[in-house]
Chains A and B, each alone.
Chain A
């Protein structure tokens, strides 16, 4: 906190999603809300280091952004602007998550192309830069920026409402929303930067608070909370630590307890689903902090269930890992061989798992699989871990 510019930046960034949600919920114009907020941020970064950070930075930013919009509206005579509130009290803090939720439902609206929902949510709710989103989604920055502009224009021009869907639409829309939040979390989790998964954790727990009767919303919050609880356990000294090898002393047991509570509440609703199953898998791993061992049999069964509900490459590889530990490496390899080779070709966890399962029986092949995994790894701590495994294996080969 010694650097006032940095402090101002942090305060501003932490409030971004809330403020866009409040501003856009009133006008329906996300782009205008973002523009006004950007100007308010610029002013904050100029003034705060000189005058000190205001007592209520969010209120200051909101007031400034609103004044900017009023000014802009006055300049643009064609717009009639009645929403003049120069001295606005900050809305009740409880309406914050509510406005954010509205914005999230707009981003996940069925009239919006599925492929752009998560990027839009990342940008508007979490304030991620379009260039970073483009990198995450492997698209040229100009293409991503163009798509984001287009979708915001559609929201404004076709007047997609900033409201919570009614009970009839809720089940459909909540699925899209949870998928988008999960994608935001997963993207960051794999890349390992951290900021985004914190935000996704916040969004998921907010959703669970606001929708306490939705089992999958609770499931997602549980899933993300379990993973968050292990943040300090990997990487260690720049090297990735696989879950079963993590030091349980580095796990956050408060978060684990909270995640377990969320999952219990989800189960009580008796509406099983994919996210609850994935959370249950994390719960089994987390139990090691009590029992001292990993129940691979339970994990094998949960992955088998997951493969039935939503088969995916990740679930298939996860299942091979669990079965490999429970029933032996050969059984695990047999499951890996069932996976479509073309699909697995560029999937790093597949090659890391293959290498691990081959290590005892075919060390030469295992070393080749590690090399393939290293080529595919985009996360430095994982690369370091894979290289260490390969070196250990080669020293045995000599």
Chain B
């Protein structure tokens, strides 16, 4: 079963990061991705530009609306995601615990709904 980790963090926490901090962080994530790949559970990941660059589109009700900004305006914003493939929620939780993003913010874990769509 595929699980998507939505990585939420407060951009203010990263405001004072130096270039070295960023290099360090990339390496930490690199190790995590390596661990996921080695375990054979890695599917995909991406690091997203900040939420204030987001564009929200909706075709709800047949009418197209395009808005500047994310879906939800919160202090913590979606910064990236991981997709992994593991047997159950406990396994997903165990990987989420090891994810560097969990230590800087929060991870929302969502199971794939594709399976039930057939």
Q: How many residues of B contact A (CB 8 A)?
A: 13
Question: Are A161 and B111 within 8 A (Cβ)?
Answer: no
B90 and A158 contacting across the interface, CB-CB below 8 Å: no
Q: By the criterion CB–CB under 8 Å, are A159 and B118 in contact? A: no
In the assembled complex, which residues on chain B have CB atoms less than 8 Å from the CB atom of A110?
93
Taking chain A's interface residues, is the majority helix, strand, or loop, or is none over half, making it mixed? loop
Give 26 CB contacts A-B under 8 Å: A78-B118, A109-B89, A110-B93, A111-B89, A111-B93, A157-B111, A157-B113, A157-B116, A158-B89, A158-B109, A158-B110, A158-B111, A159-B1, A159-B88, A159-B89, A159-B111, A160-B88, A160-B89, A161-B87, A161-B88, A161-B89, A161-B90, A161-B91, A163-B90, A165-B90, A169-B90
**B110: chain A residues within 8 A (beta carbon):** 158
Nearest CB in chain A: distance from B35 CB, A? 18
For the complex, give the distance between the alpha carbons of A159 and B1 in Å: 8
The 9 A-B residue pairs with the shortest CB-CB distance, nearest first, are A161-B88, A158-B111, A159-B88, A78-B118, A160-B89, A158-B89, A161-B90, A159-B1, A159-B89
For the complex, would chain B's binding face be called helix, strand, loop or mixed by DSSP majority?
mixed
Q: How far, in angstroms, from A160 to B111 measured CA to CA in the complex? A: 10
Question: Which residues 26-74 of B have a CB within 8 angstroms of A?
Answer: none
Please indicate the chain B residues that have their CB under 8 angstroms from the CB of A160 in the complex.
88-90
Residues 87 to 102 of chain B near chain A (Cβ within 8 Å): 87-91, 93
A residues near B93, Cβ cutoff 8 Å: 110-111
- Chain A residues 122 to 167 lying within 8 A of chain B, measured CB to CB, are 157-161, 163, 165
In the bound assembly, the distance between CA atoms of A161 and B93 in angstroms comes to 12
Query: In the complex, which residues of chain B have a beta carbon less than 8 angstroms from the beta carbon of A163?
Result: 90
Most chain A CB within a 10 A radius of its CB, from B87, B109, B111:
B111
Contacts of A158 in B (CB 8 A): 89, 109-111
By a CB distance below 8 angstroms, the chain B residues around A159 are 1, 87-89, 111
